[in-house]
C-alpha cells in the first residue's frame, strides 16, 4: 500500500512537469511563428524616421495610420498615383462569383458522380481528379487563347472564368468524397416518390452539405484571393487583382523606400483571408473529416 501511495505523487509530478515542458515548447514556437506578423504590424504603424532610428522589434511610440491611408488610397503604383482600393474591389468582384460558381458546380458534379452513377463515372472522376495535379503554368497558354476567343481577356470576368474552371477539380473532389457518406437509400426513396435530379439535390442533398460547403468556400476563397500568377498573366492596368497591385507597389521605387506603406499594403491584402479563417476556420477540419467514414 505504501509503495503505491508513494508512486502516485511521483507520477503526478512527472505528468505536471511534462505538461509544463510541452506548454513552454508550444509557447516558444508560437512566439517564433508570430514574430514576423508582429514586425509587420508594428512597422506599418511607425513613421519613416522611427523605422530608421529605432529597433525593428520596438513598439511604435504612437499609433500612426498614415501609411495605411497611403497604401489604401494614395500610394504610387507604376506611373500613376492610386492606392489599393480599386484593386481590392477587383479581387472582391473576382473572388465571390468564382467561389459561388465553383462550389455550386462542384456540388452538382460530386452529387452526380455518387448518387446518379453512369457508365464511366469512375473514369470521369479520375480525369477531374487529375486536374488537381495540373500546375498553374501548364494552363496559362491555352487559357489565354480561350479568353481571347471569348473576348474577355484583360478583364475581371476572365479571371472569374479561370478560377471557376481551375477550382472545379478541387470542389468536385471535396463534394464527391463527402456525398459518398450519404446513404443511397435517401435518393432511392425520393426517386420512388417522383423527385427528379435537381429536386433531390435541392431538398435532400444541399441541406446535408453545410460542413463541406464551408470547406469549399474557405479553400476556394483562399486560393483565389491569394493568386498572383493568373492575375499577372491575364490582366494589366486597372483590371488587376490586389495581389498584383501590392507587388507593383512594393517593387516600385518613387524616391525614398516607404517600408511602412509596404507593410500596410501587405496587411490590407492579407486581411480578408485572415478574417475568413478567424470566422470559419474551426469548421474547416470538421468539414474535411465529416465524410471520411461512409454511413
Whether residue 167 sits in one domain with residue 21: no
- 206-225 in b/e burial notation, b at 16+ Cβ within 10 A? eeebebbbbbbbbbbbbbbb
Axis crossing angle, helix 259-280 with helix 2-44, rounded to the nearest 10: 130
Per the prediction, the chain carries an average pLDDT of: 86
pLDDT (mean) for 197-217: 92
Q: Is residue 270 part of a domain?
A: yes
The whole-number pLDDT of residue 10 equals 66
Domain residues for the domain of 35 are 2-64
What's the pLDDT band for 232 if we cut at 50, 70, 90?
very high
Please give the pLDDT value at position 28.
93
Q: What average pLDDT does this structure show over 179-183?
A: 89
Mean pLDDT of 196-223: 92
Whether 295 is covered by a domain: the verdict is: no
| DSSP-derived 3-state class of residue 80 | strand
The residue out of 32, 64, 96 marking a domain boundary is 64
- Grid coordinates in use for 193? 416518390
Residues 18 and 105 in one domain: no
Nearest CA-CA partner of 154 in 237, 228, 243:
237
Q: pLDDT class for 138, splitting at 50, 70, 90?
A: confident
Looking at residue 78, what is its pLDDT? 45
pLDDT digits (tens, 9 = 90+) for 26-67: 999 999 989 999 999 999 998 888 888 877 788 888 888 888
Domain count, the chain: 2
Whether 235 and 241 have beta carbons less than 8 Å apart is answered as yes
pTM score over 0.75: yes
What are the residues whose beta carbons fall under 8 Å from the beta carbon of 112, sequence distance 6 or more?
Answer: 118, 197
Do 94 and 179 reside in the same domain of the chain? Answer: yes
Q: What is the CATH number of the domain that holds 220?
A: 1.10.3720.10
Q: Which residues, including other chains, have CB under 8 Å from residue 108's CB and lie 6 or more apart?
A: 201
Q: Is the domain of 130 the same as that of 29?
A: no
User: Does residue 34 sit in the same domain as residue 132?
Assistant: no
**Average pLDDT of 71-90?**
73
Is 172's pLDDT higher than 90?
yes
Query: Do 160 and 33 fall into the same domain?
Result: no
Torsion of CA 42, 45, 46, 47, to 10 degrees: 150
Residues 125-142, mean pLDDT to the nearest whole number: 87
Amino acid at each position: 500500500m505504501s509503495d503505491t501511495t508513494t508512486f502516485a505523487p511521483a507520477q503526478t509530478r512527472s505528468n505536471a512537469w511534462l505538461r509544463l515542458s510541452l506548454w513552454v515548447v508550444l509557447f516558444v514556437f508560437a512566439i517564433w511563428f508570430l514574430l514576423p506578423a508582429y514586425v509587420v504590424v508594428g512597422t506599418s504603424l511607425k513613421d519613416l524616421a522611427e523605422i530608421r532610428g529605432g529597433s525593428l522589434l520596438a513598439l511604435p511610440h504612437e499609433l500612426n495610420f498614415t501609411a495605411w491611408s497611403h497604401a489604401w488610397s494614395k500610394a504610387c503604383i507604376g506611373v500613376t498615383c492610386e492606392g489599393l482600393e480599386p484593386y481590392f474591389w477587383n479581387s472582391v468582384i473576382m473572388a465571390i462569383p468564382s467561389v459561388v460558381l465553383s462550389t455550386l458546380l462542384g456540388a452538382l458534379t460530386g452529387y452526380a458522380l455518387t448518387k446518379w452513377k453512369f457508365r464511366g463515372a469512375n473514369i470521369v472522376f479520375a480525369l477531374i481528379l487529375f486536374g488537381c495535379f495540373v500546375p498553374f503554368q501548364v494552363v496559362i497558354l491555352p487559357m489565354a487563347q480561350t479568353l481571347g476567343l471569348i473576348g474577355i481577356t484583360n478583364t475581371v470576368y476572365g479571371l472569374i472564368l479561370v478560377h471557376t474552371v481551375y477550382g472545379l477539380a478541387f470542389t468536385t473532389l471535396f463534394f464527391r468524397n463527402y456525398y459518398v457518406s450519404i446513404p443511397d437509400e435517401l435518393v432511392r426513396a425520393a426517386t420512388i416518390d417522383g423527385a427528379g435530379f435537381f429536386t433531390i439535390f435541392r431538398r435532400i442533398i444541399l441541406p446535408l452539405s453545410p460542413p463541406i460547403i464551408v470547406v469549399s468556400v474557405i479553400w476556394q476563397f483562399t486560393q483565389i484571393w491569394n493568386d498572383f500568377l493568373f492575375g499577372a498573366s491575364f490582366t494589366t492596368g486597372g483590371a488587376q487583382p490586389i495581389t498584383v497591385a501590392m507587388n507593383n507597389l512594393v517593387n516600385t521605387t518613387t524616391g525614398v523606400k516607404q517600408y511602412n506603406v509596404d507593410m500596410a499594403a501587405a496587411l490590407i491584402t492579407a486581411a480578408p483571408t485572415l478574417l475568413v479563417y478567424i470566422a470559419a476556420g474551426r469548421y474547416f477540419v470538421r468539414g474535411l473529416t465529416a465524410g471520411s467514414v461512409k454511413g
